[in-house]
Amino acid sequence: MIVSWNWLKDYVDLNMDHDELVERLTMSGLNHEGSKQIGDDFAIDLEVTSNRPDCLGHFGVAREIAVLYQTELNIPTVELASSKEKIADSFKVELDCEDLCYRFTARLIRGVKVGPSPGWLVTRLQAVFPGYKSINNVADITNYVMMETGQPLHAFDYGKIKGGKIVVRSATKDEEFLAINHDRYRLDEGVCVIADSERPMAVGGVMGGADSEVSEQTVDILIEAAEFSPMSIRSTARQLNLHSPASHRFERPIDPTGTDYASQRCCQMILDLAGGELAGGIIDEGRSSFHAVEVTLRFRQLKRILGIEIPADVVPGILAALGCEIIKSDESVLTVIPPTWRRDLSRECDLIEEVGRIYGFDKIPETADVPMAATVKRNEDRVAIKIRSLMTAAGFDESMTASLVPEPWSVEFSPWTDQAPLVSSQPMLGVLEKASKDIGRVEFARRSLVPSLLESRRINEHRGGEEAELFEIAKVYLPNVDSLPSEPLKLSFVGSRDYYAMKGLVDALFVEMNPGTKLDYKLCEEKIMNRSRGSVVQLNGKTVGFVGEVSSYGQAKFQLRKACSVAELDVSALLMGAILVPQHEKISGQPPVTRDFNFVVDESLRWNDLSKSVSEAAGEIFESVEYVETFRNTAKDGPDKKRILLSVKFRSSSTTLTGEDADHACQSIIASCREKHDASLVS
């Protein structure tokens, strides 16, 4: 809302300088967004919060100033002379939609001389509406009074109203309307129109019509001052994409006593500046939505909420200056009826805020004794920090991607659920990179982070030729039938490394949380993963992740030039077994003994099974088993056989192992592997 310094001076003395005034206004709730000097005037731009529609006119801002500086507020009085003609004798208003338009008033002025506005009027309007083009004196005056009082008004060319009446009604389906800007609109039911007996002349509270507007030929005018349903105005303005200063004001509750005042004030200015004769009386249909309330303020509540003592004797003064009518007052309570322009004041806490903001929030100290409180770092946070430090140490950059994705990404990889994704009724706009712009509406709550990371990888390839290695920790959204969706936290990463390097990282993540973690890896059927270079990660028989090289199918789907791998892990699985306070175990001072084995085994034997047998058979002195390599020698071993070379380390906690000790353990390993896996030593 832009106000003019000179204009304000009509209602309140401005004895301060500009900078001081805007500082005071900012500190009492009208945030100063900037000022522009125009000649001897300042156009002052103030941010008006949605609870303060009273400050969408100069009166309201002047009232704030008068309260802050404890000076007089001079609202012009209006006295109107009228002719013998009564408006009600020749004209009718039918209000058919009181849910959309609460109240509709009309006054009639005959014999107006429509022409250019006086210079001072245009100057003021140009100060508050940058770029304002003067229309004619009547239209300018309706705008002027709106900016003065905050009540929007509309003037109709009375001669163009057909059938001697106005019907305020809901539009019929697809009803056509030609607006004042000469755009044609097709209206929907539920839009409030101001019609005559034949056609809509205005979209109520939003915009006037082209064929009933006041022009140089106009002789008689009808002045509308109304109160519309804020919700209906809001949806209409939005539907038609027609936002006007009027709709902006009608989207908030207006001052009911201001409606008639504005109508009178407008008539008075027209009579003064454009001549004519006012018909007697007013047509006033419907009722304002306003109900006066009594509100009681207990003085002790001021201290309880604001934290400072405010002298009881200043409180009534502040509230009275703001327009509250004081009903009852004693040393502990004050009962008031807030003014009609302050519908936001309906509860005690509202009055506390008013007293506080006028008295000054700057008087509240910032050195209170806030008691100490202990906080505990949550395990979730500790684990997240560990994950992040491991991933960055491994060379991955942390990324963040949007939670909604386009359909192709959503469809391509959803390893955690078969349920259809949740869909937003609004898409995210402007979040896709140019090359992906046409891929679809970004409206699917993602079920995996992997597609988003592949897209980030693609962007990096595309823009900088970088082979980005990225990770992200974020939620995925899995629908539930009878409760809120599940939002498990996932860790995903994408990199240039091969399957085993990625698997190594998966192992490291789990071991970092819990050194005893035993993961299992099963074949993975996901299409975007290479079947021979990818796996499902399992912990205690439960799937906790996926890791693998991206298949050529996946690479093509995500338009990736270079090979890459992905992994996605369930963070709760990492969290669940996490040992955040590791316990000491005595380190053996004895030397280890290492023995190598070269087993011939079936091709189908998995390392996990072999190594498990080795570790179990080795007995108490077993320390570790290390995979060395795999050979194939079909000539000697026959088909479907492979040789696995492994190295086992033995160590005793108490004695130095002898060769016999180690030999004994080795025999046990060989026997067990032969029995369980038909493994034989290479001779």
Task: Report the residue from 209, 339, 356, 545 that binds other proteins according to the rule CB under 8 A.
Answer: 356
User: Which phi-psi region, left, alpha or beta, contains residue 402 (left: φ > 0; alpha: ψ -120 to 50)?
Assistant: beta
Closer Cβ to other proteins, 276 or 421, answer by number: 421
Closer Cβ to other proteins, 85 or 397, answer by number: 397
**Rounded to the nearest 5°, which phi and psi values hold at 328?**
-150, 140
Q: What is the footprint of other proteins within residues 305-324 (CB under 8 A)?
A: 305-308
For residues 125 and 140, what is the distance between their CA atoms, to the nearest angstrom?
Answer: 8
Task: Report the residue from 403, 436, 492, 613 that binds other proteins according to the rule CB under 8 A.
Answer: 403
Which residue do the tokens 């208003």 mark? Answer: 93
Closer Cβ to other proteins, 271 or 439, answer by number: 439
Count interface residues toward other proteins (CB under 8 A): 94
For the CB of residue 475, give the shortest distance to other proteins in the complex, in Å.
6
Tokens of 390: 């491991």
For the CB of residue 186, give the shortest distance to other proteins in the complex, in Å.
19
635: contact with other proteins by CB under 8 A = no
For residues 273 and 81, what is the distance between their CA atoms, to the nearest angstrom?
Answer: 15
Which residue do the tokens 């030609």 mark? Answer: 178
For residues 448 and 125, what is the distance between their CA atoms, to the nearest angstrom?
Answer: 56
CA dihedral angle for residue 95, residue 100, residue 103, residue 107, rounded to 10 degrees: -70
71: contact with other proteins by CB under 8 A = no
258: contact with other proteins by CB under 8 A = no
Task: Report the residue from 424, 611, 668, 672 that binds other proteins according to the rule CB under 8 A.
Answer: 424
For the CB of residue 524, give the shortest distance to other proteins in the complex, in Å.
25
For the CB of residue 70, give the shortest distance to other proteins in the complex, in Å.
18
Q: Could you tell me which of 509, 654, 625 has the C-alpha nearest to residue 567?
A: 509
Q: Could you tell me which of 622, 614, 625 has the C-alpha nearest to residue 662?
A: 622
Q: Could you tell me which of 450, 466, 446 has the C-alpha nearest to residue 458?
A: 466
Closer Cβ to other proteins, 374 or 587, answer by number: 374
241: contact with other proteins by CB under 8 A = no
Q: What is the footprint of other proteins within residues 6-65 (CB under 8 A)?
A: 26-29, 31, 49-52
Q: How far is CA 362 from the centre of its chain?
A: 30
81: contact with other proteins by CB under 8 A = no
Closer Cβ to other proteins, 224 or 443, answer by number: 443
For the CB of residue 47, give the shortest distance to other proteins in the complex, in Å.
9
List of residues 6+ apart from 76 with CB closer than 8 A? 10, 11, 265
Closer Cβ to other proteins, 377 or 586, answer by number: 377
Q: What is the footprint of other proteins within residues 461-500 (CB under 8 A)?
A: 463-464, 466, 468-471, 474-475, 477, 479, 481-485, 487
Task: Report the residue from 119, 184, 313, 429 that binds other proteins according to the rule CB under 8 A.
Answer: 429
Closer Cβ to other proteins, 49 or 215, answer by number: 49
CA dihedral angle for residue 9, residue 14, residue 17, residue 20, rounded to 10 degrees: -110
For residues 406 and 8, what is the distance between their CA atoms, to the nearest angstrom?
Answer: 53
Q: What is the footprint of other proteins within residues 559-618 (CB under 8 A)?
A: none
Q: What is the footprint of other proteins within residues 198-217 (CB under 8 A)?
A: none
Tokens of 533: 């270079």
392: contact with other proteins by CB under 8 A = yes
Task: Report the residue from 82, 264, 460, 613 that binds other proteins according to the rule CB under 8 A.
Answer: 460
Q: What is the footprint of other proteins within residues 358-387 (CB under 8 A)?
A: 361-362, 364-368, 370-378, 380-381, 385
Closer Cβ to other proteins, 450 or 593, answer by number: 450
* Helices 299-306, 348-359: crossing angle, 10 deg rounding: 70
- Find the part of the chain contacting other proteins (CB under 8 A) among 173-181, 183-191, 212-220, 452-460: 452-460
The answer to whether residues 195 and 135 touch, using CB atoms and an 8 Å cutoff, is no
Q: Could you tell me which of 612, 595, 611, 598 has the C-alpha nearest to residue 641?
A: 598
